[in-house]
Chains A and B, each alone.
Chain A
């Protein structure tokens, strides 16, 4: 596979559940990102990893917990979410942190019930 792959594509979870989103990139990129896209809002940066090290946490609540075991994989662990956390969660990767553009995955559509 090439590009950035996200699984699952759709997820419905209760507020007491624990689930994880997975992102994998086969582009040899060194930086990976989690973005949240809510209705009628800009894409919101959540976390940035560079060479497996977290370089930014954009004031994200602790019920979202990222994990980056290597430069190719990124996870977002979810627990005790709220209905307002329902959104499209997008993973992206880039060669470095120069901000010259990302490759996005197709996203995970999360619904919290």
Chain B
């Protein structure tokens, strides 16, 4: 059973508009969440993260929101740019856990149209 779910396999947005990518998780022990971005033929690269002690973290055009009661997080990109077109993976971990492994979602492919 998937512990981290990205239910939208794809999203298409017009340049300049907001992109909202969603992620749900089931394990209440998760307390650290990350978003990775992946271009074709490249490995995922870290984008932004949030600890469960916060409900929002912002870095330039990227903002991650965490709703612990709903076990839901979202990534907002505003304004969206064509270069943002990529697959976005949500990941979760138990910070300080002995294994340190991240649990990933299936990814959402974002297409930003000029």
- Interfacial residues, chain A to chain B (CB-CB below 8 A): 4, 6, 9, 31, 33, 35, 40-43, 45, 48, 50, 55-56, 90, 92, 94, 96-107
Among candidates A48, A97, A98, A101, residue contacting B46 with C-beta atoms closer than 8 Å: A101
In the complex, the answer to whether A106 meets B42 with C-beta atoms within 8 Å is yes
In the complex, the answer to whether B106 meets A107 with C-beta atoms within 8 Å is no
A-B pairs under 8 A by CB, number: 76
B60 at the interface (CB under 8 A from A): no
Question: What secondary structure prevails in chain B residues at the interface with A?
Answer: loop
Given contacts A42-B106, A98-B95, contact A56 B101 (CB under 8 A): yes
Among candidates B43, B99, B103, residue contacting A104 with C-beta atoms closer than 8 Å: B43
B97 neighbours in A (Cβ, 8 Å): 97-99
- Give the most central of A4, A50, A90, A99: most B CB within 10 Å: A99
In the complex, the answer to whether B101 meets A99 with C-beta atoms within 8 Å is yes
In the complex, the answer to whether A106 meets B41 with C-beta atoms within 8 Å is yes
Complex CA gap A35/B2 in Å reads 16
In the complex, the answer to whether B99 meets A48 with C-beta atoms within 8 Å is yes
